[in-house]
Amino acid sequence: MINVGRMKSIRYISTRGQQTPLSFKDAVMTGLARDGGLLIPERIPDVTGHLAEWAHLDYAELAFEIVSRFVDDLPAERLRELIDDAYATFAHSAVTPVRAVGPVHILELFHGPTLAFKDIALQWLGRLFEEILEERDGRLNILAATSGDTGSAAIAGVRGQERVQIFVMHPRGRVSALQERQMTSVLDANVHNLAVEGSFDDCQQLMKTLFNDLAFKDAHSLGSVNSVNWARVLSQIVYYFYAAFRVMDSTGAARVQFTVPTGNFGDILAGWYAKQMGLPIERLILATNENDILARFFCTGVYAKGQVVSTINPSMDIQVASNFERWLYYKVGQEPEAIAELMARFAEQGHIELPCEQQGQVDRDIVAGTSDTQRTLATIKRYYEQFDYLLDPHTAAGVFVAEQHNELDEPMICLATAHPAKFPEAIEEATGKDLARHPLFEALAQAPTRCDVIANNLDELRAYLAARTA
């Protein structure tokens, strides 16, 4: 049974149980728990009684109401200012508008500075870092791994900050050309881009290994902006409430469904938390591409690592989902010893198994499906021709899976995680037309870039960081 209740004094605990409980600010600065687990709130607030009064708030107002339930060590007015400042950077007045398109509703999460849903968390998190470091007269060296969009969004959140350096690893040749240029064209002195000879999972493993080297982490003031940082997941809870309120208001429905294209499980985990808080979500539908470890797990109970396949939706090219451990903690009855044992077994064997609650389903709240490259391209083409709406490849994978699970009466909301202009080759392959354009990318075409190539080697990464963070 999940422990749900309105929080007053708020502490953050590790899924593996060996981390001293932390305040919100300390949880933000810690990132990955010191015992190797992930930080989570010790209780989940029940906000059912507030749904009616929140239904018509604007995005920043709603963000304050939700986030403040998890923060007790930042004055309310200052928290409100940081939230207002973060979302003032978005190009659309609604921040995350919802559009009815054919049989689904599209939740557009790409109106931030880098045109990806990661901006929603990282514009706020960058300001949080700056606030806490100023208060504590501290310095922070952010180490991040990206499969595409996190890197540019994280860089945009902290570029130019005096107290922060950021080191972003991406798998060399496995992000789109535009995604790479978005990162490497930022020449601020506090920004370092590293192209790693390997996959995103390799980048993520390097990052986690260094964070587990506590002596190195402390000596070099390492922090995280990846979704292992609780603040990332917290900020993403907001747009589930915002979208559900608007769709229920426009359709008269009492409940909604969400489909989420995901690789690292953070985005759909935010929806799962929203449901536990009382948002009337009938179910969450998880969509993967050919890298389908999560879809296989939620259909069979078997979580088994495979080889990463490069696809047209590179942000989903992941075989080890870092946020999966947070969900698993609740699934095993909030028993940290069980989590520690399961994660140790997975690290050693690349395989764990849980029983299904019912045939073909591990969790009654989450169903899953897969869209391969041809189905994704066909979905982009069909939605452009039938509905005059251009989907990026990640969103199109989610829409295809949503259509396979749209048998219920509740409206289906599909998360649109990136602007289609970030993937011009895939859009042209799907439609036969050069449609994927945006002024931001036109300006980047001739911009100078800076990036260092490193081997998939822990010692080389350690030396690179040590030389620049002394």
Number of helices (H) and strands (E), helices first, in the chain?
A: 19, 15
Average pLDDT value for residue range 399-403: 98
> Cα(175)–Cα(199) distance, rounded to whole angstroms?
10
pLDDT bracket for residue 360 (50, 70, 90):
low
What digits encode the pLDDT tens for the residues 130-155? 999 999 999 999 999 998 788 999 99
Q: Is the pLDDT of residue 437 over 80?
A: yes
> Cα(149)–Cα(75) distance, rounded to whole angstroms?
31
Q: Is the pLDDT of residue 357 over 90?
A: no
Query: What are φ and ψ of residue 398, in 5° steps?
Result: -65, -40
Contact, 211 vs 32, CB < 8 A? yes
The residue type found at 30 is T
pLDDT bracket for residue 358 (50, 70, 90):
low
Average pLDDT along the chain: 94
Contact, 158 vs 166, CB < 8 A? yes
End-to-end CA distance of the chain: 47
- What stretch of H or E contains 282? strand 281-288
> Cα(406)–Cα(45) distance, rounded to whole angstroms?
30
**Tokens representing residue 270 in the block:** 């935010």
- Residues 6 or more apart in contact with residue 31 via CB below 8 angstroms: 211, 222, 223, 224, 225, 226, 228, 229
The residue type found at 54 is W
> Cα(446)–Cα(50) distance, rounded to whole angstroms?
50
Percent of the chain scoring above 90 in pLDDT = 86
pLDDT of res. 470: 72
What digits encode the pLDDT tens for the residues 73-118? 999 999 999 999 999 999 999 999 999 999 999 999 999 999 999 9
Instruction: Round the CA-based radius of gyration of the chain to a whole number and report it.
Output: 21
What digits encode the pLDDT tens for the residues 149-158? 889 999 999 9
Sign of CA dihedral 355, 361, 363, 367: positive
Of the ranges 172-186, 277-291, 387-401, which one carries the lowest mean pLDDT score? 172-186
Q: Is the pLDDT of residue 235 over 80?
A: yes
pLDDT of res. 4: 45
pLDDT bracket for residue 356 (50, 70, 90):
confident
Average pLDDT value for residue range 188-201: 95
The residue extents of the domains of the chain are 98-114+231-431
Sheet holding 452-454, edge to edge: 222-223, 140-145, 164-171, 191-196, 452-454
Of the ranges 33-47, 142-156, 339-353, which one carries the lowest mean pLDDT score? 142-156
The whole-model pTM stands at 0.93
> Cα(260)–Cα(325) distance, rounded to whole angstroms?
18
Query: What are φ and ψ of residue 257, in 5° steps?
Result: -120, 155
pLDDT of res. 6: 40
Q: Is the pLDDT of residue 1 over 50?
A: no
**Tokens representing residue 414 in the block:** 């599909």
pLDDT of res. 3: 45
Specify the fold of 98-114+231-431.
Rossmann fold (3.40.50)
- Residue among 25, 118, 208, 275 flagged as catalytic: 118
3-state secondary structure of 451: coil
Q: Is 118 a catalytic residue?
A: yes
Q: Is the pLDDT of residue 355 over 90?
A: no
Percent of the chain scoring above 70 in pLDDT = 98
Average pLDDT value for residue range 329-341: 96
What Cα–Cα distance (Å) separates residue 103 from each residue in 391, 399, 404, 407, 465? Answer: 14, 10, 12, 11, 49
